[in-house]
Structure 1
Amino acid sequence: MAEKTGAVLVTGANGGIGAVAVRALADRGMTVFATVRANAGAGAGALAGVKGVRVVEMDVTDPASVALAAKKVTHDVGGAGLRAVVNNAGVIVQGPLELIPPEELRRQFEVNTFGPAYVTQSFLPLLRAGGGRVVNVSAPTAWVPVPFLGPIGASKAALESLSDALRGELAVWRIPVVLVEPGATKTLIFAKAEAAARSALNDADPGRVALYRQHLAAVEKASANQRSSPPEKVAAAIVRAVEARRPKRWYAASSDVRLLRLVSHLPAGLRDGLIARTFGLSNVKAPA
């Protein structure tokens, strides 16, 4: 049975924000079902030893895997249901859209958009039983489009649209749907994204890659100077979203997120120019 403070499901718990959030919620006395993929590695093993944490194998991109995990969790919590489902699992696909392989584009949406939808569909009965809520981890690129981060921005924009619609659909059951917005965060997800992007560029037509060489160098230089927050800040925002008696519709995990929210309201031309200057793209010229 779950602890008296309730049970929470957290996806993408193998590392980064997910692993820190799992520990933070468990420290608050909750039973936390931490979902990981079959080949999750050492991160899952470390969580298995944490009091109150139960590791559940689940691939968010596979509806059958999600349904099986829901059956296992239902067996454990019984009629108490869930206090919250935290859709945290995510990936970043980056690079010029012209050069991103189709399978990588599909993967971006499978994990970031369809995954939360599959999970929410399967676990909603447990949220109704537990008077719970949906907490979706998004990204500011959902409303401030950034060159070379188009896929993640699009996937998170779609997630936010689904979240807003779902909030209205579930209002009759008083099931809140909450968005948590991380800023730049110190996790391995960015290193993984960069490695995947470099691999894709290595496989692409060299002539087309050369067209973007100046752009990519400028963005890399600007990104190197970007300040990042620890994942604990995002985990704290997730805890607030889970525990609040009347949760807000969205929580900013850092001050840069609030600033980007203001930027999103600028006229499109002004916003685009600001983004171009921020990432060093305003002086890039087309190759001769």
Structure 2
Amino acid sequence: MALTLRGRRILLTGASGTFGRALTDRFLALGAHVVGLDLVPAATAPAPILRCDLTDDAAVPPAVDAAADLLGGLDLLVNNAGIGGPAPAELPPGAEVRRQLEVNLLAAWRTTAAAIPYLERSRGRIVFVASRMAVLPLPLAAAYGVSKRALTAYADALRLEVGSHIGVSVVYPSMVASPIHDPTTTAGLSLDGVSRYEPVSGVVAAIVHAATATRAPRDVATTTRGRVELAMARHFPSLAAGLVTRTVRDRIAAGALNDAPLAEGMLRRAR
């Protein structure tokens, strides 16, 4: 029998973004109490959003404490904040790589550490929003894939430490239409034709499932196709890599990367 979100006290990071807004609406509709954290709080949000730079070690603990004070405790933390952008693995890591690691991995780590005392008392749950790219990486987006794979490794380690009292789940969305893809598109590295778009509603439903299942699930795909891809990436990694390689080769042949300076190495080798 599934649990209910009615009356549950939820802290949501990245509350002003595409997933954050949809999650807030869904949580409130299910009777939960929500406080968000975001670098730029939305002006017309239906629930309080506290301004917080999640990459700032000193800013996160007081922001989590303030959210817990508003809610009267915490029952659920959803680590949703994340950013994307192009970062070829063959090039040295620069500011873009460090920024993605900070936001996608270390921000969740900081927020979780600050929330653990509250969640231990309530025997609550933590849901990490990762990405299918954590297990099925794509070329030219190494920072995003690395940060999300590291996030799942962090969740696995955390589960071993706190799993007796706190449920820990990881959700794996694929590609959803949102501004997170704008930097990649601007760089001429659109993922159109490589990943399939999926609806935001599916991601929201997967997160709600992780939060309300009788026993916190370890890994949650957001679509049927996602479940197949997760299984294939884990059990048949060579096959999964071969499919991605073939898709990228077809895009190169079609000239889809001709205007992308960051793909110069791949294009040179393909020729």
TM-score interval (norm. to shorter): 0.7 to 0.9
Cα deviation digits, residues 125-159 of structure 1 (max 9, x gap): 11122221110000111111211121111111111
Contact 2:78 2:128 survives alignment (8 Å)? yes
Does structure 1 residue 54 correspond to structure 2 residue 56? no
Alpha-carbon distance between aligned partners in 1 of 2:211 and 2:105, rounded to the nearest angstrom: 21
Aligned-pair CA distance for 1:107: 0.5
The residue correspondences of 1:135-174 to structure 2 (distance < 5 A) are 135-172=127-164, 174=165
Alpha-carbon distance between aligned partners in 2 of 1:287 and 1:6, rounded to the nearest angstrom: 53
The residue correspondences of 1:1-288 to structure 2 (distance < 5 A) are 5-37=7-39, 39-40=40-41, 44-47=42-45, 50=46, 53-78=47-72, 81-99=73-91, 102-172=94-164, 174-195=165-186, 198=187, 220=190, 223-224=192-193, 226-265=195-234, 267-280=236-249, 286=269
TM-score normalised per structure 2 = 0.85
Alignment-mate amino acid for residue 230 of structure 1: P
Change (3 A) 1:73 1:180: same
Cα deviation digits, residues 203-233 of structure 1 (max 9, x gap): xxxxxxxxxxxxx7xx64x724743112121
Alpha-carbon distance between aligned partners in 1 of 2:221 and 2:180, rounded to the nearest angstrom: 19
Instruction: Please identify which structure carries the higher helix content.
Output: 1
Alpha-carbon distance between aligned partners in 2 of 1:59 and 1:128, rounded to the nearest angstrom: 24
What root-mean-square deviation, in Å, do the aligned CA atoms of Structure 1 and Structure 2 show?
2.3
- Residue ranges of structure 2 left out of the alignment (5+ in a row): 254-266
Change (3 A) 1:267 1:135: closer
Alignment-mate amino acid for residue 166 of structure 1: L
Alpha-carbon distance between aligned partners in 2 of 1:69 and 1:119, rounded to the nearest angstrom: 9
Contact 1:187 1:231 survives alignment (8 Å)? no
Alpha-carbon distance between aligned partners in 2 of 1:171 and 1:177, rounded to the nearest angstrom: 7
Alpha-carbon distance between aligned partners in 2 of 1:119 and 1:136, rounded to the nearest angstrom: 11
Alpha-carbon distance between aligned partners in 2 of 1:270 and 1:234, rounded to the nearest angstrom: 26
Alignment-mate amino acid for residue 86 of structure 2: Q
Change (3 A) 1:230 1:271: closer
TM-score normalised per structure 1 = 0.80
Contact 1:14 1:36 survives alignment (8 Å)? yes
Change (3 A) 1:285 1:14: same
Contact 1:185 1:228 survives alignment (8 Å)? yes
- Residue ranges of structure 1 left out of the alignment (5+ in a row): 199-215
